[in-house]
A and B are shown apart, each in its own frame.
Chain A
Amino acid sequence: MSSIEFPYTTEKSRIFGNVKRPRMSISVFSKLDDNWVMIDDVLADTGADLTVLPRFIGELLIEDITTGEYTEIKGVVPASVLIAFIHLDMRVKIDEKEFRQPIAIADSNNVPSIFGRANGLDLFDANFLGGEKLTLSGDD
């Protein structure tokens, strides 16, 4: 079993002054230029059903993002709905571990990159250690 570590990043917060967040890097295979695109500062979010990427990152991966399955994603904000297109079989790599997962590409650029559970965090033993680092362990 191998393990990948991501130190938390410290970011500004109006309320707390600073807040630490578990951010990670993932690579997603681009069908456009037949190569991997590395995406940094992706929030590891156990509350997210699936991985979400903002529109212009999605458009580095797929020519027409609207070819995915139309969906409306709701969060904790009442009456707020994010329109996105789910692409079911995207190739994703974290370090050397490659897998396929559904990715929702948002029809908006005002959306953070989020790594969610569906065939993502759920593939690993994810540990959020003391608010300092995220470790992802899994079979090689």
Chain B
Amino acid sequence: MTDTAAGPPRAAVVAVERAEPLYASHDKVYPQRVAGRFRQIKWAALVVLLGLYYLAPWLRWDRGAGAPDQALLIDMPGRRAYFFWIEIWPQEVYYLTGLLILAAFGLFLATALAGRVWCGFTCPQTVWTDLFMLVERLIEGDRNQRLRLDSAGFSLAKAARKLTKHVVWVAIAAATGGAWILYFADAPTVLAEIFTGRASATVYGFIGLFTATTYLLAGWAREQVCIYMCPWPRFQAAMFDEHSLLVTYEAWRGEPRGHRKAGQSYDDRGHCVDCGLCVRVCPTGVDIRLGQQLACIGCALCVDACNGIMAKVGLPGGLIAYDSLARQTARSRGQSVRYRLLRGRTIAYAVLLVVVGAVMLSALATRSTLDLNVLPDRAPLFVRLSDGGIRNAYTLKIINKNRERQHYRLTADGIAGAGLSVLGVEAGADGAIELTVEGDSVGTFRAFLRAERKALAGESTPVTMALTEIDSGQSTQHETFFSGPKH
């Protein structure tokens, strides 16, 4: 099957007449324990990510009296999202959009560089399945013990082990659901409510939902999610190119494979001793020696396994390794090619990442705590007053993103001699209009602008309404227009 001149082998598909069912029973995967560099990286990623997930809601951030003191909080009833010192209003949801775009480009860049590192190291499905598999291994034993336990008949010992495992799984799943809730409500408060039965039905409902889904997906479905449910594996062909680092089996070096007695030479045969360990440690149950395949999530545990075996038989490691297709093809011919991590695709992703990040940062930095919207009345456009003047009415919406009540001065410019008044607000001695808006809210006002007919520039005269915060001097303005009769 090998053809070293043409590069790594490809599996030929030959149709075989066989009556096989259209639906296959599940071949349960029993991953074997393995040690090595990538296993350590996976454990580290698991600890960091789960730690972040479970502990982040407990971080505190003081925002003053009356405001939530949780650093990370999505306040649905209050329509606010809090991230440390950043407070997002609903009309600023584009920050979330930007965050998602950043995440997407980051993912594309990581995949273009190093293949399915998301799948193998950081995807929540992988992390929780890894955790559940650890629990299973601690309670039921390593691969051989689990195989024996599953094929053994019913016994109290077996039932006790299985039950313990499932109880621990459900407990972890419930903690996962509970932690989700903590992002949407004040953590200490709602946790106390959950345990004393005082939390709302929504809270218990979501905890139940996440418990069920975590337990089912990480305990039972596992690799079925990656193979059948997740869309990400299915367009990896568009994500890699010949320079992406992927988990690769060096067939030109390993084939022809076969068991080897001690003392046999490696002439006329490959380095693969067909120990099958790479298949046994794989969490999705693939044989990486068949090449790149959908079900390989790139967790590199087979790399650790094979390197361990190669060290024992005294051969150099890297029979399965992170390498690019271009380098593999060259090395199979005895040539050497450099890594090409900096190429058009990766540079483009990196640039986009930086640009989007910069746009978001500048939007955050220039975010003001004051906004004015002026909505001119359309029915009627203008009103003739009994003294001959013309009057327009406007609805003003003032957004006060400060925590405290603020006072503002309102002016209107653009028409000589125009008189401004606001319903329900007494003008000051000099005609100044002062408006008050409560903290963290939108104030609605009805404003009237009166002008002499001769001061107008026809049917539509541009007018600028300006709002100045009295305390800080911060100001904003809104361009609008004044409607008048046709002359």
Bound pair (A, B): no
Interface residues of B (CB under 8 A from A): none
Interface residues of A (CB under 8 A from B): none
